[in-house]
Amino acid sequence: MKKKITIILTITLLLALFAGIPLASASEKDAEQEKYKEVVVNAVWIPIDKDTGEVYDDLTPLITHPNAYDWSEVAELQDDPAKDYFNEYVISYMGTRIKNNSYYLNNFMYTSNLFFSDRFHKVVAQGCSTSDYNIQEGKKSPVRKLVYGSFEDEDLVMGLHGMTMTPYQEGEILELYIDTIIGNTSLSEADFVEDELTIQRPKDIRSLIDLFKENIKEYTFLSLDKLEEYIEEYVTIDDPKDMNWDKVYLYKYDPDNRDKGEYLKNNNGDYLNIINELDINDLELGEYEVVIPVYWQRMVPEALSAPDTFSRNRYKYDDTIHFTLILEERDGADVIVKYVDEEGNQLADQVILKGKVNESWTTEAKEIEGWILKTEPENSQGTFTDEVQEVVYIYEEEIEIQDPEVPGGPTDPTGPEEPEEPGEPEDPLDDSESEEPETSPKTGDTSLVLLYVILMILTGSAILIFTVRKALHKQLR
């Protein structure tokens, strides 16, 4: 790259000394004003295969900007009946001008400085040199074809000469088809950490740009500023922070066909500059090419193509460094699901949900033995975000209520029995256990139990009184 630019620069400096050939002196000012009129001719350089003549559709043509300098060119009134286009205004293929009362014509000049870029605006090709073609006997230039409105000229073998005339057609674009060399042509080179960078969507654009900076080791470029001073200098930047980060564009690949795609654009239809025109959450997931300009619509330096002299050479350069970006959704913050009692005590293991930002999630209550759900949370479902979310299910203790046993029909209570004839008196101080009654009331009926207790008390009292009276009677005898 550097050697080729050096040769081009050297030739440019030499040819710039012989930029024009005066053909006519403007000795009669009024006559010159009638013969020549100033015109604006917009032109476009179209790259073609030098072997087949086919247009390179994947290269970007160079559009001229004739009004970028104070003067454009002139059309000459053809007043010689012996020449073509008699009594019509004509222009030359390369462009004609009057300066210092002189009329200038030239063959195509500095065509090797026509740098063509690919869909990522990266310079990858350049036009062939007219000087190289002139060395070959009989060949005129690497310009093979010209189309201008209704006019067309073509010579695929010898090429066209820049001093050839064509009728001036106001408002028409002049198309110049030039032999082009692809490969081994660049104005800048970059070294990346990853040629294909896969990342999760960051939280903001600034974080995204920081990731881009981390992916660039260094890059080298030809300084067009120095070329303006006729100095050839290559600049190497090894700290991405020192790069110009005013513009960054994204080219989104077609997911079904990687050979196709389009740039993100703003409401005006222009390339969207993600530095200040994009919300990170509006950036779709997928595959992109990150395009970072080194030059962007930079007018070709005078040292390369003499644009001040030749209106056909007033074009602008784009050049970039670029790498592929695979954008995936970032991980969302956890969703923590808790199961607690009314005091906040944990009743079951909590559940942690994980997912990507904007993905949906849902939760459900657990069956916990001895507990029933009291409160179901309002946020039982939602989407993952950048913030941790908590979902709390609150339980209360379950109280088991048993149905009472249904009593049967009423039964007749057993009446008191007649006391038996007393035997030997018992010692009243004897605390031996009394015999249990033969029968006892049924359980489950409160009234029967109470009646049974009363009968027991009455029977015991009767037995006690009888025993005491008998003992006293014996003593009295």
Mean pLDDT of 228-243: 91
On whether both 108 and 192 belong to a single domain, the answer is: no
**Assigned domain for 409 exists:** no
Mean pLDDT of the residues in the chain: 84
In this predicted structure, the answer to whether residue 455 has a pLDDT above a threshold of 90 is no
User: Do 120 and 222 share a domain, yes or no?
Assistant: no
Pick from 183-187, 238-242, 314-318, 356-360 the range whose average pLDDT is largest.
314-318
Instruction: Assess whether pLDDT exceeds 70 at residue 2.
Output: no
Res 114 pLDDT > 80:
yes
Task: Please indicate, yes or no, whether residues 283 and 211 belong to a single structural domain of this protein.
Answer: yes
Q: Is residue 322 part of a domain?
A: yes
Mind listing the pLDDT tens digit for each residue in 200-210? 989 899 999 99
Encode the chain in three state secondary structure.
CHHHHHHHHHHHHHHHHHCCEEEEECCCHHHHHHHEEEECCEEEEEEEECCCCCECCCCECEEECHHHCCCCEEEEECCCCCCCCCCCEEEECCCCEEECCEEEECCCCCHHHCEEECCCCCEEEEECCHHHHHHCCCCCCCEEEEEECCEEEECCCCCCCCCCEEECCCCCEEEEEEEEEECCCCCEEEEECCCEEEEECCCCHHHHHHHHHHCEEEEEEECHHHHCCCCCCEEEECCHHHCCCCCCEEEEEECCEEEEEEECECCCCCECCHHHHCCHHHCCCEEEEEEEEEEEEEECCHHHHCCCCCHHHCEEEEEEEEEEEEEECCECCCEEEEEEECCCCEEEEEEEECCECCCEEECCCCCCCCEEEEECCCCCEEECCCCCEEEEEEEEECCCCCCCCCCCCCCCCCCCCCCCCCCCCCCCCCCCCCCCCCCCCCCCCHHHHHHHHHHHHHHHHHHHHHHHHHHHHHHHC
Give the pLDDT score at 35.
86
**Do 370 and 433 have their domain in common?**
no
Going by C-alpha positions, the residue among 205, 207, 105 that lies closest to residue 162 is 105
Q: How does residue 362 score in pLDDT terms, banded at 50, 70 and 90?
A: very high
Which of 162-176, 228-242, 392-406, 446-460 is most confident?
Answer: 162-176
What is the distance between the alpha carbons of residues 404 and 327, in angstroms, rounded to a whole number? 69
* Prediction pTM value: 0.70
Q: Are residues 339 and 306 in the same domain?
A: no
**Of the residues 182, 206, 240, which one is the last residue of a structural domain?**
182
Higher pLDDT: 273 or 472? It is 273
pLDDT tens per residue, range 324-353: 999 998 888 999 999 999 999 999 999 999
Residues 214 and 229 in one domain: yes
Together in a domain, 269 and 354: no
Point out the domain boundary residue: 282, 309, 328. Answer: 328
Tell me whether residue 403 is in a domain.
Answer: no
Domain final residue pick, 328, 355, 379: 328
Confidence band for 120, pLDDT divided at 50, 70 and 90: very high
pLDDT value at 1 more than 90? no
What does the pLDDT read at residue 271? 97
Band (pLDDT 50/70/90 cuts) for residue 184 is confident
Asked whether residue 417 is domain-assigned, the answer is: no
- Does residue 9 have a pLDDT over 60? no
Residue 161 shares a structural domain with residue 239 = no
Residue 31 lies in a domain: yes
pLDDT tens for each residue of 398-446: 887 666 665 555 555 555 555 555 555 555 445 544 444 444 444 445 6
What is the predicted pLDDT for the residue at 12? 47
Q: Is 418 inside a domain boundary?
A: no
Least confident of 92-101, 103-112, 145-154, 290-299: 92-101
Handedness of CA 268, 72, 170, 84 (dihedral sign): negative
Q: Are residues 350 and 324 in the same domain?
A: no
Any domain includes 404: no
Gap between the Cα atoms of 146 and 157, Å rounded: 14
Same domain, 56 and 41: yes
Report the range of poorest mean pLDDT among 10-24, 85-99, 270-284, 308-322: 10-24
Residue 245 is predicted with a pLDDT of 93
Residues 127 and 245 grouped into a single domain:
no
Number of structural domains (the chain) is 4
Query: Taking a C-beta distance cutoff of 8 angstroms, is the pair 91, 39 a contact?
Result: yes
Question: Quick one: pLDDT at residue 241?
Answer: 85
Report yes or no on 415 lying in a domain. Answer: no
Say yes or no: 270 and 362 in one domain. Answer: no
Rounded mean pLDDT of 144-150? 96
Full domain range(s) for residue 219: 188-328
Q: According to the model, what pLDDT value does residue 471 have? A: 65
